[in-house]
Structure 1
Amino acid sequence: MPSSTERAQAGTDEHGLTTGTVARRLGVAPTTLRTWDRRYGIGPARRQGGRHRRWTAEDIAVLKRMCELTGSGVPPAEAARTALNAAPGTRAPAAAHHPVLPAPPPRPLPSDAEPDGLGPDAARHERRGLMSAALRLDASTIDDRLTAAIDRYGPVAAWDQVIMPTLHAVGRKWQTSGEKYVEVEHLLSWHVSSALRRVAVRPAAAGDATGLTLLACTPGETHTLPLEALAACLTQRGLGVRMFGASVPGEALSEAVRRTGPSAVVLWSQSRNTAARPLAQHVASSERGVRGARTRPAVLVAGPGWAGPPMPGTHRPRELAEAIRMLTGLCAR
């Protein structure tokens, strides 16, 4: 018989497996398990001492069916109903109207790792499902699909491969149909914003955060979703973030830089009309600290509005992952 120490090292005891152990065995992020438990009841039937989550063999069987269904494209709410209602030991059938795609084989995933991105087929399927829900104005399914994509694949892959392409497709649809689908874009954008903010609902405490990045749209710029995606990714990595949102006046941004002394400032511009180059150069030249040891924030100009010759003293990331790499290095220094 294994000792209590050996059981603890294995992540289990006589009452079942811990959430971390189950996550590693099935290749599912622990955050996904917590979300499924809270939203759909896919979780341990009992908790040790009323607190600690312990997964029994029956609990894990339900969870495996849930993973199988969501991996084949079934929305999480529907997958949960099917998994909970299926008899133990049987494979739950895929729901109607959802083409079945092969689910990737489970493999260990460290609890602090970013989930893997999507394959091409899975990405297309996720986009089709999200677009279909948006066109139906099905708010519940939109929310379920966004939450599942972010939890399962991580905010970077979800943004690059699912969310952003779907937003672009909806935009093209209303532009080519006499603005018939404007309401679809507004609904989808609102739910995307809500899903991204949920990721950043527990940012690192001020004393624990690494560095500090200010995120702001330039004056007159109202497109905030790319910055919201960046905020979610940075807070998930333990980096300090202050998100100021749309159309931040230059004076207000300068005051925020003076008061917080950030490691970096990200300025988003969607169009050339809002690419405030003098503001970017002013922020890049601002100094803070005592004489002889003054520092300047790194300035990242992001978005298509900054197309053209580079500005001295600024960085220009071309995609979300590149911005994260830059900021991680800058804040670490």
Structure 2
Amino acid sequence: MDVRNPAEPSRPGAADPALTTGALARRLGVSPTTLRSWDRRYGIGPAARTGGRHRRWAPEDVTTLETMCRLTASGVPPAEAARAAREGAEPAALRRPPGPAPAPGGPAGLPAPAADGAPLPADARQEGRGLARAAVRLDAVALEERLESMLTRYGLVVAWQDVMAPTLHAVGRRWASSGDRYVEVEHLLSWHVSTTLRRHTRQSAAAAGATGAGPVLLACVPGEQHTLPLEALNAALSRLGVPARMFGAAVPAEALLAAVRRLGPVAVVLWAQARSTASLPLAEHVTAMEWGVRGARARPLMLLGGPGWSGRPARGMLRPASLSEALDILAAGCRAAPPGEPS
């Protein structure tokens, strides 16, 4: 007697019964309403129906729907994705030449300009929609594929500024306006973005001595948990050969000051997502710190990142508006900074 649950995915080569719409929706990570809509609008439906027109999805129907999901997660419009899924052809939206490789490092190991990858003005919304759809479906495989493809095609800076960050903001707004729904969507998307950024962070011993200056120190202010923008900056700096130390979320003030004294950084980047965590006295204290021999003492260049600093006076500090601007500032700072040792 066959005791298998008909809602379970079929095994290759097994004569499994057709799936109900609810079972297929659970398998694909979409809603039953979406499957019915695709059937009605685009003809992506089951080859056979039972009495009463109940849908039963055969293995070949499942394969077509899996292709449909993969293509929409890649940012292909649903109508074009449905046509390609039915015909087994690659959609025109995916037939694009890859962008140029990221710019190599400058002479003598110094950072190159912040240009990275190909421009993305026309494709940004499509890429973002595909990323968001994969996140809403909780499709981890599609998220990994989309993020990796994005970085390969456009480079880290463009992918972060034009796709990753706007998509994260959009998912966050949807969560905030829906009564705590979609929390799992935001967490899954954030985790995969973080994983991808760390995978593209290049740590090398050569970079540590490339400029003769101290590293760039990256930290969130006390109480701040949003690290993804700093993770993107850390990865981008590593690709330019700029040495950095990433301290992550909610760094206590005492620990931050101790790290500055020990490392003698050429620059410090403090991230504050909210005004409630942005501590201007702490930033001013770090900016005033000095080290080195008398007559040639050095101070860190201070960059304030994040919306938490908006509207705050920032005398002697810089507030870059984007990842590319921060990279330009830090690369120039590393070139100009003289070698120094913390006192």
Q: TM-score, normalised by structure 1?
A: 0.68
Q: 1:269 to 1:115 in 2, by over 3 A?
A: closer
Aligned residue for 2:314, secondary structure, equals coil
1:112 to 95, 100, 104: 104
Question: Cα 1:110–1:167, aligned 2, differ >3 Å: closer, same or farther?
Answer: closer
Larger Rg: 2
Q: Which amino acid aligns with 1:153?
A: Y
**Which residue, 56, 81, 100 being the options, matches 2:92?**
100
With 154-163 and 110-119 compared, the bigger mean Cα shift is at 110-119
Task: Work out the CA distance in 2 between the residues paired with 1:97 and 1:169.
Answer: 31
Alignment correspondent of 1:24: none
- What is the aligned partner in structure 2 of residue 183 from structure 1? 184
Check whether the contact 1:74–1:98 (CA below 8 A) recurs between aligned residues.
Answer: no
Percent of aligned pairs sharing the same letter: 54
- Give the deviation of 1:115 after TM superposition: 4.6
Partner of 2:145: 144
What are the Cα deviations for residues 167-209 of structure 1, in whole angstroms up to 9, with x where unaligned? 1111121222222100000000001110001111434535444
CA distance in 2, matches of 1:109, 1:224: 27
> Secondary structure in 1 aligned to 2:219?
strand
Query: Is the 1:222–1:246 contact (alpha carbons within 8 Å) kept by the matching residues of 2?
Result: yes
Residue 121 of structure 1 and its aligned partner are, at CA, apart by: 3.2
- 1:164 deviates by 0.7
Q: Match of 1:220, SS?
A: coil
Alignment of 1:302-313 (within 5 A): 302-313=305-316
TM-superposed deviation, 1:75: 7.2
Q: Is the 8 A contact 2:101 2:155 kept in 1?
A: no
Alignment partners' CA distance in 2, 1:149 and 1:319: 19
Measured in 1, the distance between the counterparts of 2:208 and 2:140 equals 38
Native 8 Å contact 1:203 1:236 kept in 2: no
Q: How many angstroms does 1:308 deviate by?
A: 1.5
Q: 1:240 aligns with which of 231, 237, 243?
A: 243
The answer to whether 1:261 aligns with 2:258 is no
The 3 A distance-change label for structure 1 pair 101 and 118 is farther
Q: Is the 8 A contact 1:204 1:235 kept in 2?
A: no
Equivalent-residue separation in structure 2 for 1:251 and 1:195 (angstroms) = 31
- State whether residues 116 and 157 of structure 2, in contact with CA within 8 Å, keep that contact through their aligned partners in structure 1: no
Give the C-alpha shift of residue 144 in structure 1. 1.1
Higher relative contact order (CA 8 A, sep 6+): 2
Q: What amino acid is the match of 1:186?
A: H
Q: Which of 318, 323, 326 does residue 320 from structure 1 map onto?
A: 323
Deviation at 1:153, TM superposition (A): 0.7
**One-letter code of the match for 1:260?**
L
Separation (CA, whole Å) in 2 of partners of 1:102 and 1:151: 14
- Residue aligned with 1:272, SS: coil
Deviation at 1:107, TM superposition (A): 7.9
Q: 1:159 to 1:108 in 2, by over 3 A?
A: closer
Q: Tell me, yes or no, if the aligned pair for 2:218 and 2:230 is still in contact at 8 Å.
A: yes
Q: CA deviation at 1:111?
A: 6.7
| Superposition TM-score, scaled by structure 2 size | 0.66
Shift of 1:250: 0.9
Asked whether the equivalents of residues 99 and 154 of structure 2 are also in contact (C-alpha less than 8 Å), the reply is no
1:300 counterpart = 2:292: no
Query: Are 1:213 and 2:221 an aligned pair?
Result: no
Match in the other structure for 2:166: 165
1:129 aligns with 2:130: yes
Write out per-residue CA displacement over residues 60-104 of structure 1, whole angstroms, 9 at most, x where no aligned residue.
Answer: xxxxxxxxxxxxx7879xxxxxxxxxxxxxxxx965698532755
Which position in structure 1 is the counterpart of 2:273? 270
Taking only aligned residues, the RMSD between alpha carbons, in angstroms, comes to 2.6
**Distance between the aligned counterparts of 1:168 and 1:316, measured in 2?**
20
3-state secondary structure, aligned to 2:243: strand
**Aligned partners of 1:149 and 1:233: how far apart in 2?**
15
Q: How far off its partner does 1:309 sit?
A: 4.0
The answer to whether structure 1 residue 192 and structure 2 residue 206 are counterparts is no
- Give the Cα–Cα distance (whole angstroms) in 2 for the partners of residues 306 and 250 of structure 1: 17
Which residue number in structure 1 is paired with residue 39 of structure 2? none
**Where do 1:11-90 residues align within 5 Å?**
none
Q: Secondary structure at the match of 1:147?
A: helix
Letter paired with 2:196? A
Asked if the contact 1:117–1:158 (Cα under 8 Å) also holds between the matched residues in 2, the reply is no
CA positional deviation for 1:331: 0.9
Unaligned runs of 5+ in 1: 1-72, 77-92
Name stretches of at least 5 consecutive residues in structure 2 with no aligned partner: 1-70, 75-82, 106-114, 337-343
Task: Report SS of the residue matched to 2:123.
Answer: helix
The answer as to 2:275 corresponding to 1:284 is: no
